Homo-oligomer: A and B are copies of this chain.
């Protein structure tokens, strides 16, 4: 089996690749397990040396749109022997809001060009598309319902969400036409992300835990009672893999499924950090409010009823404490404070 991951050098793409390499095999859409021959990582950045060193890894470096526009390069990305494409590459929400044309190109045109390349193969590969919770946006004219489920009408309030939602529609129609097998998967806010803060409004939902664990100041710019819906990196990758493995009958409708999310609050997150580490760690959290970030974060839904995902055996993380413990176990080099035994 040959697999492609766009955005394959990113945090989730690389984690997905590592997990696939460790497992060494995958079942596609209900078929028997197959050995993984190659994983093509397509990204503007190079993957880590550890990943690139695996003989099964193929690396294609470049801008996805440009690669797909050049026929020769497109043929390198999706080949007749590629059975699964995990399409994770995207411009992030902040970029898309600041530069409308960039977002349309990176998130809409790239998806469409990728689907056209898949269609041209005439092999109907499986495309697992990483959509986003950002398709749901609250607005005064159209408040979100208290609980979001798989049939809730998305009303995106930013260009990123619109582009993701449009891409879901394209995936659904290409699948209905038989050009691909389609899997639309909406990812929740991922926490705790390792690494550095980024420009996303949700960045603090990792940073307020990650930085204190590294002995650094972290900030939480929203009040402790702010509700958020989170998923650990592990559960998020599980969701992408399950989407590829589910048979068409298990999967059901071509509309997107919401991945499960743990409903918690900023205050509960800090309390979990204290239980895993110490009061000294939580003392590193700066609670100075940022009205801008607060406005964005409270416009996101916090309560997700992920019925279809549940039907596929996908469950939210048990607790935010278990998420913090996962992070500590997986990132020993990033921990500088004392942990409770």
Contact = CB atoms under 8 A, between A and B. Distances in A.
Nearest to A119: B100
B100 A155 contact: no
B153 A173 contact: no
A72 interface: no
A253 interface: yes
Interface in A136-180: 139, 141-142, 151-157, 159, 162, 165-166, 169-170, 172-173, 176-177
A252 interface: yes
Contact of A156 (B155, B156, B165, B169): B169
* Contact residues on A (Cβ < 8 Å of other chain), bracket: 20 to 34
A222 to B, nearest CB: 24
Contacts of A169: 156, 162, 165-166, 169
B142 A255 contact: yes
A243 to B, nearest CB: 15
A129 to B, nearest CB: 15
Contacts of A252: 141-142
Contact of A255 (B155, B166, B255): B155
B151 A153 contact: yes
